[in-house]
Structure 1
Amino acid sequence: MDRKFTSLATTAELFEKKLTVVGTIASTRRDVPLELRPQSLNKSLPGTIRFAFRDKETLVSYVPKRNKVVTVLSSQHRDIQVTEDKPEIIMYYNSTKAGVDTLDKCVRQYSCRRSTRRWPMAVFFNLIDICAYNSYVIFCKTNESWTAQHPKRKSGRKKFLKSLGKELCKINMENRSRYKGLNKSYAAVLRIFGYNCQQGEAITRGSVIKEPEGPATRAAIKKLPKKGRCFVCPRSEDRKYMKICNQCEKYICPRHTASEEKNIVRTCSECNK
């Protein structure tokens, strides 16, 4: 466990759930006794070891060299064992600490994270990344043929994540394709993935100006700007609106809107003549 998250309270709570913890702990925490802090051990000789015990936790401070102190908290070890002039807790931590760093490196290669200021979303993105990598590891262990076809682990993981993303979106895309009044831009994107959907006639903000001929491509999807000047009003007024006439596909203001039904079907005064 990382030193930022390691604490006696967290260790005790995890131990009640039958989970043990071995990790470094910040020496500035209140949980660390004064005798195990760097202030008391900085002048000690290299190789100095001090232990502290509680009900189910063990704290050890080790001085590998002068002016450096390493403090480790463990709920798995209860014995004072020293191997090669190092505590057994330190040896165990050094042999297992690379797993977290390796996972972080693998997760950063292909991530679904987006910049956000909401910490629940950041935690959610991290959970998705970790779950996706764990599922890939399980998939490789249960499908040896996949591993043989993709000797390069990086390329195999990329294909796996693509297929996983499509499978996760499959149900949502199928439901969207059944909508009768589907937005044109959504309909064009769904056609890229092979769904036949009914396209709505309404032209709203962000909809497609012209439906691409033949197989839809991402380059053919062109969106309207968010706002535009009413083509009937004089240019001196310079008023911009988001409403568009369904017939001439030009921006119109409320004053020059001839007919409107539920803010969807609109006709300008020029087309209504």
Structure 2
Amino acid sequence: MEPLFGSGRGVTMDNYFTSVPTAEFLIKKKITMTGTMIIRKPDIPSMMETAKGRELLSSKFIFTDNIAVISYVPKKNKTVRVLSTQFIDDSVSNESHKKPQMILEYNRTKCGVDNADTLVREYRFLLDLGKELTQPNILRRAKNPIGLQLPVLRAIEATGVFVVGNTAEKSIPTTSGQQQSRKRRRFYNCPRKNDRKVNSICCECERFV
């Protein structure tokens, strides 16, 4: 976002980012913003969060020198809260919905926010789907890890799955599609006089075991 600093442009954001500290920071960078706010934000008085006792389609406003917060009641027991440093006024539409101008402007410019939210939801869905599809294979390979390369073992353990035996052979270079034999080395805990040779490597310490 740094390339926009000092540009005087306006930014529309969703309730994940919107807060008074964010607004104050952007003001210092000469950027205005408009965004919805979730309830129970420490920045907003409780009277702006509740719809109890309020008239349908009514609005409440709070202003500072350069920040405005609106609480609008679109339906029974529901409020919509918008913070803006771009629209510092209490104007309300003459149409039947009586929406404040701040909310109308947010709705007009929120297409990018909606697209971003959609992409995030799709990404999370694909991520969860990928985990579900690969989990059976991960569990199967973790139960029988013999011959698995170290990167594969580490990837399995990174998912939180315990690898039985916890040992595997490192990758072996190939020639003409055939695996070359790996030089056997002494078991790391074996006395030199016994000279016990092995070719498997622990995926934790990478010693021959």
TM-score with structure 1 length normalisation? Answer: 0.42
1:37 to 49, 64, 69: 49
Structure 1 residues 37 and 19 mapped into 2: Cα distance closer, same or farther (>3 Å)?
same
Task: Please provide the CA RMSD for this pair.
Answer: 3.8
Does the CA contact (< 8 Å) of 1:43 and 1:66 recur in 2? no
**Which has the larger displacement, 90-99 or 67-76?**
90-99
| Higher relative contact order structure (alpha carbons within 8 Å, sequence separation ≥ 6) | 2
Q: What are the within-5 Å matches in structure 2 for residues 47-126 of structure 1?
A: 47-83=57-93, 84=95, 85-106=98-119
Structure 1 residues 6 and 250 mapped into 2: Cα distance closer, same or farther (>3 Å)?
same
Cα distance, 1:86 vs structure 2: 0.8
SS for the counterpart of 2:26 is: helix
Per-residue CA deviations over 1:138-169 (Å, capped at 9, x if unaligned) read xxxxxxxxxxxxxxxxxxxxxxxxxxxxxxxx
Greater share of helix residues, 1 or 2?
1
Aligned residues: 144
Does the CA contact (< 8 Å) of 1:49 and 1:60 recur in 2? yes
2:22 to 10, 15, 36: 10
Which residue of the partner structure matches residue 138 of structure 1? Answer: none
Cα distance, 1:14 vs structure 2: 1.2
Structure 1 residues 107 and 66 mapped into 2: Cα distance closer, same or farther (>3 Å)?
closer
Cα distance, 1:66 vs structure 2: 1.6
Distance, in Å, in 1 between the alignment partners of 2:189 and 2:43 is 67
Structure 2, unaligned stretches of length 5 or more? 1-12, 129-148, 151-167, 198-209
AA in 2 matched with 1:89: M
Structure 1 residues 96 and 269 mapped into 2: Cα distance closer, same or farther (>3 Å)?
same
Structure 1 residues 106 and 213 mapped into 2: Cα distance closer, same or farther (>3 Å)?
farther
Q: Percent identity?
A: 33
Distance, in Å, in 2 between the alignment partners of 1:30 and 1:110 is 30
Cα distance, 1:62 vs structure 2: 0.8
Distance, in Å, in 2 between the alignment partners of 1:108 and 1:44 is 34
| Pair 1:252 & 2:175 matched | no
Q: What are the within-5 Å matches in structure 2 for residues 1-273 of structure 1?
A: 1-38=13-50, 41-83=51-93, 84=95, 85-106=98-119, 206-208=169-171, 210-214=172-176, 247=183, 249=184, 252-257=187-192, 268=195
TM-score with structure 2 length normalisation? Answer: 0.53
Distance, in Å, in 2 between the alignment partners of 1:2 and 1:63 is 18
Structure 1, unaligned stretches of length 5 or more? 116-184, 187-204, 221-245, 259-267
Cα distance, 1:95 vs structure 2: 2.8
Greater share of strand residues, 1 or 2?
2
Does the CA contact (< 8 Å) of 2:190 and 2:196 recur in 1? no
SS for the counterpart of 2:23 is: helix
Distance, in Å, in 2 between the alignment partners of 1:93 and 1:212 is 61
AA in 1 matched with 2:107: N
